[in-house]
Amino acid sequence: MKSITINGSQRESVGKKSTKALRNAGQVPCVLYGGDKPVHFSAPELAFSKLVYTPNAHTVVIELTNGEVLHAVLQDIQFHPLTDRILHVDFYQLFDDKEISLDIPVQLVGNSKGVKNGGILRKNNRKLRVKALPANLPDFIEIDITPLKIGDKVSVGELPSENYTFLHTDNIVVCQIKTSRTAVADDEDDEEAAGEAPAAEAAE
């Protein structure tokens, strides 16, 4: 999985007054959990743009001014209700030998036969939660929808998962091709019907 580096400065004071001063200076108060003890630090608000305003999943490399380098994932983020400015960010520390749960985006590829014939592609789940060691976390879950006809669907149980585990039941639908008023019969169905007609005539 791709990672984003954030350069931060450790916080000596975590009171309300110091937190407000940080925000006024364009800094975001952050806390890293999961280690021996929480690590409090701050980073420029602009440093989070590629991490927050994207549909992609990333791990994070936190480089502190004291030389410490920590690996993490975004756990929670708080926005100002009026300005949408980032108020606070929580991270969870990663360890090579410890599995982590993370929401991974679903990426659909190909051109569905059902959509070509007027069906509607419905994305029931744009992200799926998986559990894996950090090294095995995928950038995205790819699904080839090319063979899907009208009425077909793809469930979690049909997806490969060699190095990670889906934290969903197998019957959860990820995407499907729904019919519509303008939908026509799928090409394959038409071809099969056409192929059966001469045989039927020959039998007569």
Tell me the pLDDT tens digit for each residue of 168-182: 999 999 999 998 776
> Strand 165-166's sheet: what is its strand order?
141-144, 100-109, 127-132, 165-166
Q: Are 86 and 140 in contact (CB under 8 A)?
A: no
Instruction: Give, as one character, the DSSP assignment of residue 58.
Output: -
Report pLDDT digits (tens) over 81-131: 999 899 999 999 999 999 999 999 999 999 999 999 999 999 999 999 999
Six token digits for residue 35: 């280690």
Shared domain for 52 and 125, answered yes or no, is no
Domain co-membership, 43 together with 126: no
- Single out the residue in 94, 120, 144 at which a domain terminates: 94
Q: Which SS3 state, helix, strand or coil, does residue 24 take? A: helix
Overall number of domains in the chain: 2
Residue at 199 is within a domain: no
Mean pLDDT of the 39-60 span: 91
Here the tokens at position 133 are 């060691």
The CATH number of whichever domain residue 13 belongs to comes to 2.40.240.10
Looking up residue 165, the CATH number of its domain turns out to be 2.170.120.20
The model's confidence at residue 186, banded by pLDDT at 50, 70 and 90, is low
One domain for residues 56 and 79? yes
Q: What percent of the chain has pLDDT over 90?
A: 68
Radius of gyration of the chain (CA): 24
Same domain, residue pair 123 and 178: yes
126 domain residue, yes or no: yes
SS3 (DSSP) at 202: helix
The answer to whether residues 139 and 161 belong to one domain is yes
Low-confidence winner among 78-82, 132-136, 147-151, 199-203 (lowest mean pLDDT): 199-203
Question: What pTM was computed for the model?
Answer: 0.80
Question: Contact, 68 vs 35, CB < 8 A?
Answer: no
Q: Which is more confidently placed, 58 or 193?
A: 58
* Confidence bin at 78 (pLDDT 50/70/90): very high
pLDDT at 185 over 70: no
Average of per-residue pLDDT values in the chain = 88
Look at residue 22 and tell me if it is in a domain: yes
Whether residue 166 sits in one domain with residue 136: yes
Same domain, yes or no: 27 and 89: yes
Q: Which range marks the domain in which residue 82 is found?
A: 3-94
Closest among 149, 152, 106 to 127, alpha carbons compared: 106
Q: How far is CA 135 from CA 49, 156, 163, 168, in A?
A: 24, 22, 9, 21
| Beta carbons within 10 angstroms of residue 136's beta carbon | 15
